[in-house]
């Protein structure tokens, strides 16, 4: 019998990812070899004070020095880095005559490293790079080494900068993708439980929003990566929070975070992030926790008109939800995400992080400025809806 072949129409898409991904316990030892193949002289290592205290930044510096590279260290990255930190790191790269940049740390350090690799060439100004596709390149060789399992920044073409006193603005460009993303689960073993929880939920948000994104570049690769990310993270996050020495859970978290990063780098995130940014920007709440605080409430808003994607993700993330369909599955998925956040010990309400009810109108107005993100939300969201979601989260 002749089988008829069916051709399925597919929208065109673009998928960008790093030139190389190196993953495995103990792989930090390869840093020197990876750098010497790409950098010919002085290297600037960008990190934060906490990583200096843990000794991880020193280990990375020693690996580079053992490979014959001279290393300068910029250790002053802070959470939600302001423009001044990016400029100071850029000045340090130029003063050192850096031929390459290595970022070691959480998402903030990696975001700064990505921008410095471009800015150190002297060809562009940060103010001209904000937005999508405004970075022209070139950049210095770039290696990124994450020490948390959440942001996926090591595989994304996004950097977030705090402008003024509170507003976060993104730079989005393939030029921000590194030559090498080096992922060593051992570097995450010492993460405190509250950071493990917040970054883990953050990674899950990346995968969920990428899968459900209304972006015209939502594509089969991103959706497949999002599903695999949630398979890893759904089982690993709570285990890693309560058993920080569980090496399998730590590896699954780091892998899941990276997969989610690849997914949302190409199928962008949406309203969860848009509503989280004012929480972090104005009240200095860590990004992962900001996402966790609004996640179930944004998804319940979306489920009213677009439950399908969340119903599909339900059994992938939480196998016990297998067999539930449609709106019921979507609702159960959101409930399980809320339960996971609670069981991981994260704060559950905006009031728990010092936000007052009369702050809500200001936050809703600020969230509306995140048009780059809101346009990707499955359900259209206006300022009235944002206020309602914040009140539900209060």
Q: What per-residue confidence (pLDDT) applies to 11?
A: 83
pLDDT at 248 over 50: yes
pLDDT, tens digit, 9 for 90 and up, residues 285-334: 999 999 999 999 999 999 999 999 999 999 999 999 999 999 999 999 99
Predicted confidence band at 80 (pLDDT cuts at 50, 70, 90)? confident
CATH class of the domain defined by 20-188: alpha beta
Strand partners, 170: 160
Q: Where are the domain boundaries for CATH 1.20.1090.10 in the chain? A: 193-393
Q: Where are the domain boundaries for CATH 3.40.50.1970 in the chain? A: 20-188
CATH T-level fold of 193-393: Dehydroquinate synthase-like, alpha domain (1.20.1090)
Query: How far is the C-alpha of 118 from the C-alpha of 139, rounded, in Å?
Result: 4
pLDDT at 10 over 90: no
pLDDT, tens digit, 9 for 90 and up, residues 25-68: 999 999 999 999 899 889 999 999 999 999 999 999 999 999 99
pLDDT at 6 over 50: no
């Amino acid at each position: 019998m002749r089988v008829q072949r069916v051709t399925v129409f597919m929208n065109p898409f673009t998928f960008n990812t790093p030139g190389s991904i190196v993953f495995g316990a103990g792989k930090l030892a390869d840093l020197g070899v990876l750098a010497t193949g790409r950098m010919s002289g002085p290297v600037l290592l960008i990190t934060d004070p906490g990583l200096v205290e843990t000794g991880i930044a020193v280990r990375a510096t020693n690996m580079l020095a053992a490979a014959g590279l001279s290393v300068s260290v910029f250790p002053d990255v802070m959470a939600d880095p302001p423009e001044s930190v990016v400029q100071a790191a850029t000045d340090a790269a130029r003063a050192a005559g850096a031929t390459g940049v290595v970022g070691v740390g959480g998402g903030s350090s990696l975001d700064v490293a990505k921008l410095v690799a471009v800015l150190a060439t002297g060809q562009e100004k940060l103010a001209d790079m904000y937005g999508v596709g405004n970075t022209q390149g070139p950049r210095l060789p770039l290696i990124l080494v994450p020490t948390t399992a959440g942001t996926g920044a090591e595989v994304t073409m996004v950097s977030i900068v705090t402008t003024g006193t509170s507003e976060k603005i993104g730079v989005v460009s393939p030029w921000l993708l590194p030559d090498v993303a080096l992922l060593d689960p051992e570097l995450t073993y010492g993460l405190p439980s509250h950071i493990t929880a917040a970054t883990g939920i953050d990674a899950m948000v990346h995968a969920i929003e990428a899968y459900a994104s209304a972006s015209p570049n939502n594509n089969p690769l991103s959706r497949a990566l999002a599903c695999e990310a949630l398979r890893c993270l759904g089982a690993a996050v709570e285990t890693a929070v309560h058993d920080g020495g569980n090496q399998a859970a730590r590896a699954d978290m780091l892998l899941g975070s990276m997969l989610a990063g690849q997914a949302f780098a190409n199928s962008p995130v949406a309203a969860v992030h848009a509503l989280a940014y004012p929480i972090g920007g104005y009240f200095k709440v860590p990004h992962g926790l900001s996402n966790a605080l609004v996640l179930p409430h944004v998804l319940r808003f979306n489920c009213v008109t677009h439950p399908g994607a969340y119903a599909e993700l339900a059994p992938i993330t939480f196998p016990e939800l297998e067999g539930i369909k449609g709106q019921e599955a979507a609702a159960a998925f959101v409930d399980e995400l809320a339960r996971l956040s609670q069981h991981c010990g994260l704060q559950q309400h905006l009031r728990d992080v010092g936000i007052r009810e009369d702050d809500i109108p200001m936050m809703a107005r600020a969230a509306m400025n995140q048009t780059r993100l809101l346009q990707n939300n499955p359900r259209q969201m206006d300022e009235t809806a944002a206020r309602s979601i914040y009140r539900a989260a209060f």
